[in-house]
Amino acid sequence: MKPAASFTRIFSCCALALLLGACSPGKPPEDPYDQSKMDLKPTPAKVSAERHQGAFAEGSSLSMGAELKPLDPTPVKTVRLDTTHKIIEIAPGVKFSAWTFGDQVPGPTIHARVGDRIRFSMTNRSDESVPGMHLTAAPMMHSMDFHAAMVSPQDKYRSVAPGQTMEFEFTLNYPGVFMYHCGTPMILEHIASGMYGAVVVEPRNGYPTKVDREYVVIQSEFYAKPDPQKRKLDGQPLYVLDSENLKKAAPNYTVFNGVHNGMIRKPLPAKPGERVRLYVLNVGPSKTSSFHVVGTIFDRVWIDGNPDNQFRGMQTVLLGSSSSAIVEFVIPEAGQYIMVDHHFANASQGAIGLIDAGGPKEERNEIEHHNMAASAVPDDPDAVKGKLDFESKCLACHSLGQGRKLGPDLAGVTRERSDEWLTQWLKSPETMLKTDADAKALLQQFANVPMPNQNLGDTEIRQYLKYFHWADAQPASPAPAAGAH
């Protein structure tokens, strides 16, 4: 049909619609979201004093890590996610007092399909001490809020006390990648402490595309400060929730799947030519994510994980708090494909990961430098912070004990320079290069490439110095941590 003809037809139809109040050229397509076919009458929730023992997470629909397990075909999915308080390691040496679903952060991913029924139960086990761990956070009320459900929050999302069990059921009416989280006030604190996860709901008839790999990537923020009571775990300082920075939305770690640079250490495998589907959820609680994969283009983006909300050929997908997307792309050739939050301030806090599709490893080693295996970790929280900052901001040009790059190897630098000199240098290398003889000499050694001002604050500079002093005080090699691949 010629465009003009179709225009006339649409026009006349709609002109008619204006007159008659309806426009129905034939039978209307079936609405996949027909509410008369949805379950909007879930049964009441049940709260009991029965304490569940044994595994903290149970159910054949659960995936515990990044890899999404295949769909379990049973239409009723029994899911148990008990709440616990436990210590998790959000970055090398940063042991954080967390609250969890299913004893891990993020909680396990539930994989189901539209029309499936979720039979959910949760015992609040925040009063149980996990073997080998001290209880660092007082037991407290918790609850569960599933964004995938359509239920009365006052009934299903009630808080239950330690020792109590909450049970309810609901049917999945819409496809998507949905957040779940604790909804007990202060909700902000419960989410920031680790109480969240994802539910992947496939369309009733599956996705319109076939893929070779399926991974879940969950972005979230941590607001951690050294424990004011100075408690320690395995000789390392304990970190607790920093409520001040939490209210200011100023996290110190923004991460994928609960760990700073975690998927650099354990890349997601793929092969050239393969089609990869990522289920990406931004938990927040307070930041947006500009999710991007370096080296490819998203063939399809399904906003909130629903194929009806489709974009094609996108570079980045913007996700607010509790927003999600399914992104699909092809791995063009062998290589290391970096996943980042393109808000680079967030990426530098750890929101970075890797899809490993083989190929030369030089570049990969470069990235790995941002996350060197922690065979030794400083004890002092300032030095830990200095180490992490160094790994994200300085490794492009410096090493600690691995030789010169664009700038000098900084091993032993605290023996060669005074703290005062280093402080002035880090504050303003450009001033030092004009006024200080040692700085001028250094510049000559480095091919007249001046170190750019890194815009460091006083606290940050103090933390770098703490780290350099710690590294220089290490026995055998200057910084064992920096050598490990």
Would you say 199 and 109 are in contact if contact means Cβ atoms under 8 Å apart? Answer: yes
Pick from Cu ion, ligand HEC, none: which does 413 bind, CB < 5 to 8 A by kind?
ligand HEC
User: Does the N-terminal peptide bond of residue 285 adopt cis geometry, omega within 30 degrees of 0?
Assistant: yes
Instruction: Quote the least distance from Cβ 63 to Cu ion, whole Å.
Output: 22
Count Cα atoms within 13 angstroms, Cβ side, for 80: 15
Q: Could you list the residues that contact Cu ion (CB under 5 A)? A: 142, 182, 184, 190, 195
Count Cα atoms within 13 angstroms, Cβ side, for 23: 10
Instruction: Quote the least distance from Cβ 199 to Cu ion, whole Å.
Output: 17
Pick from Cu ion, ligand HEC, none: which does 87 bind, CB < 5 to 8 A by kind?
none
Q: How many positions of this chain bind ligand HEC (CB under 6 A)? A: 24
Ranked by CB distance to Cu ion, the top (closest) residue is: 182
**CA 266, CA 257: separation in Å to the nearest integer?**
11
**CA 157, CA 372: separation in Å to the nearest integer?**
41
Q: Which is nearer to ligand HEC, 379 or 430 (CB)?
A: 430
**Backbone phi, psi, residue 257, to 5°:** 50, 40
Environment class of 184 (CB within 10 Å of its CB; exposed 0-12, middle 13-18, buried 19+): buried
Pick from ligand HEC, Cu ion, none: which does 190 bind, CB < 5 to 8 A by kind?
Cu ion
- R_g of the chain computed on alpha carbons: 26
Instruction: Quote the least distance from Cβ 166 to Cu ion, whole Å.
Output: 12
Residues within window 434-473 making contact with ligand HEC, judged by CB under 6 A: 442-443, 446, 449-452, 454, 464
Cβ contacts of 370 within 8 Å, gap of 6 or more:
261, 264, 352, 391, 392, 395
Q: Which tokens hold the place of 122? A: 């949760």
Instruction: Quote the least distance from Cβ 188 to ligand HEC, whole Å.
Output: 31
- Residues 390-429 as x/- pattern, contact with ligand HEC by CB under 6 A: ---xx-xxx-------xxx-x--x---x----x--xx--x
For tokens 């180490």, the residue is: 387
Q: Which is nearer to ligand HEC, 223 or 425 (CB)?
A: 425
* Distinct helix (H) and strand (E) counts, the chain: 14, 26
**CA 160, CA 47: separation in Å to the nearest integer?**
8
Residues within window 364-393 making contact with ligand HEC, judged by CB under 6 A: 393
Pick from ligand HEC, Cu ion, none: which does 286 bind, CB < 5 to 8 A by kind?
none
**CA 219, CA 286: separation in Å to the nearest integer?**
11
Instruction: Quote the least distance from Cβ 162 to ligand HEC, whole Å.
Output: 45
Residue 132 in the binding site for ligand HEC (CB under 6 A): no
Pick from ligand HEC, Cu ion, none: which does 168 bind, CB < 5 to 8 A by kind?
none
Residues of this chain that bind ligand HEC (CB under 6 A): 393-394, 396-398, 406-408, 410, 413, 417, 422, 425-426, 429, 442-443, 446, 449-452, 454, 464
